[in-house]
Amino acid sequence: MSLEELRKKVDVTDEKIVRLIAERIRQSKSIGEEKHKKGKPIEDAAREQKVLSHIKAIAHAEGINEKEIENIYRQIFKSSKDAQGIIAAFQGELGAYSEEACFQYFGPSVTVKPCESLDAVFSLVEQDEVPYGVVPIENSLEGTVNRVYDLLLNSSLKVCGELEVRIMHCLIANPKASLDNIKKVYSHPQALAQCQTFLKHLGFEVIPASDTAGSVKLIREQHLTDAAAIASRRAAEIYGMKILASDIADNPNNFTRFFVLAKHDSPPSGKDKTSIVFSVKHQSGTLYTAIKEFADNKLNLTKIESRPTRQKAWEYNFYLDFEGHRQDKIVKDTLTKLEAHSLFVKVLGSYPKAT
């Protein structure tokens, strides 16, 4: 067989390889869509390792270098995950704790979209510009993020997931700054509140800002050498800044709980929670009667929070989290009974419990 004929055979083989890779990517995209529906992360390290072991065994049997095949397949994995990949919106600048929550929930292949406000996060998901939003709902030290509850009340979005992120605050400054020169510190009000003892001890002036990572960006862009920011270690790395002190929060037991938002919630997983909001008549015993339905059906309440209705003074909406999925029969029965005691009941979503 001539050299030209051999090259033509290689060309045909290359065409088959490319078409098969394209087909694999299309199949991966379908898998990604199913993961989205079920609220599962794109990354699956165990599955990836299983595929690599299988491929390397085939390579060994065919007399091909296993390491080279592994390298080729890692590139194919990347293309496949890019096809599966999702976009998640969050409030803040790159390096914010909400961005970290996006990566923890969806995996490192997620594309993140920073937003100036929580309202903007909701809006992007509602308008189908992104499939998911990740928003903080409460901090273990400073309590609830009230704006998120207010937005959930009037939004059609559902809570499809939750996660808890350990918050590790750092004092961050320009590379030429030193701790002795710092006079003022910028950060989100909650971050400032969580580091009160550290800040008071050093006598810093505290300046509230809309975002932790945004504070780092601000002192970098303004070349401030007498100011620092409280934010994550990742924020310092992203903006090329120096960490003057690490883990400066008053209490090490500092976690923020996040909700993952979408047009849909999640199917039952067997270990679920449901979030609702309801309102009862402003009469003696009405709240007790409503809550009693959960106790009677042995549904464990994990949180209850009240927020003003803003329609009439001293009347409240109640936000409730409890174990179980809205599709469970006992949950359906309980919600039906709750409606009988309530002015309204809205299911915000059912989702797998954070682990």
Q: In terms of DSSP H, where are the helices of the chain?
A: 3-38, 45-61, 66-84, 97-106, 118-126, 146-154, 189-194, 196-202, 212-221, 233-238, 286-296, 329-341
Identify the CA nearest to 122 among candidates 304, 260, 273, 318. 260
Catalytic residue among 258, 259, 278, 322: 258
Return the pLDDT at 297: 94
Which whole-number Å values give the CA distances from 61 to 51, 57, 66, 75, 194, in the listed order? 16, 6, 10, 22, 59
Neighbour-count burial of 303, counting CB atoms closer than 10 A to its CB (0-12 exposed, 13-18 middle, 19+ buried): middle
| Phi, then psi, of 70 in degrees rounded to 5 | -60, -45
What lies within 8 Å, CB to CB, of 249 at 6+ separation is 141, 167, 168, 169, 194, 195, 198
Return the pLDDT at 154: 93
Return the pLDDT at 282: 81
Q: Domain residues of the chain, as ranges?
A: 42-84, 85-163+257-264, 170-248, 267-355
Angstrom distance (rounded) from CA 214 to CA 218? 6
Return the pLDDT at 40: 65
Per-residue pLDDT of the chain (355 residues; tens, 9 = 90+): 888 888 999 999 999 999 999 998 888 888 877 776 665 666 676 788 889 899 999 999 999 999 899 889 888 887 776 677 678 999 999 999 999 999 998 877 788 999 999 999 999 999 988 989 999 999 998 889 999 999 999 999 999 999 999 999 999 999 989 999 999 999 999 999 999 999 999 899 999 998 899 999 999 999 999 999 999 999 999 999 999 999 999 998 899 999 999 999 988 888 999 999 999 988 888 899 999 999 999 999 999 999 998 877 788 999 999 999 999 999 999 999 999 989 999 999 999 999 7
Domains 85-163+257-264 and 170-248 belong to one CATH topology: yes
Token digits for 97? 């704790």
Classify domain 85-163+257-264 by CATH number. Answer: 3.40.190.10
- Reply yes or no on whether 258 is catalytic: yes
**CATH 3.40.190.10, applies to 170-248:** yes
Cα radius of gyration rounded to whole Å, the chain:
25
What lies within 8 Å, CB to CB, of 77 at 6+ separation is 48, 51
Angstrom distance (rounded) from CA 284 to CA 132? 41
**CATH 3.30.70.260, applies to 267-355:** yes
- The residue assigned the tokens 């490192």 is 108
Strands 342-352, 272-280: parallel, antiparallel or unpaired by DSSP?
Answer: antiparallel
Catalytic residue among 212, 256, 274, 334: 256
Model pTM? Answer: 0.77
Return the pLDDT at 85: 67
- Reply yes or no on whether 256 is catalytic: yes
Print burial letters for 127-163: b (CB count within 10 Å at least 16), e (below 16). eeebbbbbbbbbbebeebbeebbbbbbebebbbbbbb
Angstrom distance (rounded) from CA 69 to CA 81? 18
